[in-house]
Amino acid sequence: LNGILREEANKHDVYAKLWQGQFDDKEKELRESTAAFEDRHQKQQDENLLYIKEYRSKTQDPGHCAVQDLQRKVAALEQDLKTTKKMLDITKTENSYLEDEKVRLFTDNSIFEDHIDKIEQTYAHNPGLPPRPQILSHEYGHDDGASAEPEESRRTSSSVLLSSR
């Protein structure tokens, strides 16, 4: 009988220790949760006090509620908005023009490249044509040291060709 009672007592001791551990864990969770709640509550109170102070400082300013002053402020802001919208429209128009110009230049560039390719093919397949000018061989990386035109002259003739378009 004594052995059975000891087994029961040991079993209840194990339960008691298990329950004590669970109780300690729950108590720790409660303390952490309470501390977090109190922290959030304090922050909310501080924020509310800040709003109250801002409201009081505005209401003590006699000009804050003056309708004419407020109307002037609103009118100035509306004018700023109109100006900003106009500037936005101008910018959109400019961007559209630039985009169209970019497309045109890419198209022209491909046309010029096709034309150059045809000229090169003609030079390559027709021995009766005059030899390729030195300026072209220099620009395509085949420089033999002798250029038909000085650097400045080449740039000028290229820019004249492009600007005449």
pLDDT tens digits in sequence order for the chain, 165 residues long: 788 999 999 999 999 999 999 999 999 999 999 999 999 999 999 999 999 998 888 777 776 677 888 899 999 999 999 999 999 999 999 999 999 999 999 988 888 888 888 888 877 776 665 555 555 444 444 444 444 444 444 444 444 444 443
The model's pTM: 0.33
Q: How many CB atoms lie within 10 A of CB 137?
A: 16
Query: How many Å apart are CA 28 and CA 26, to the nearest integer?
Result: 5
Q: Are 149 and 157 in contact (CB under 8 A)?
A: yes
Question: For the chain, where are the alpha helices, taking DSSP H only?
Answer: 2-60, 67-125, 134-139, 151-163
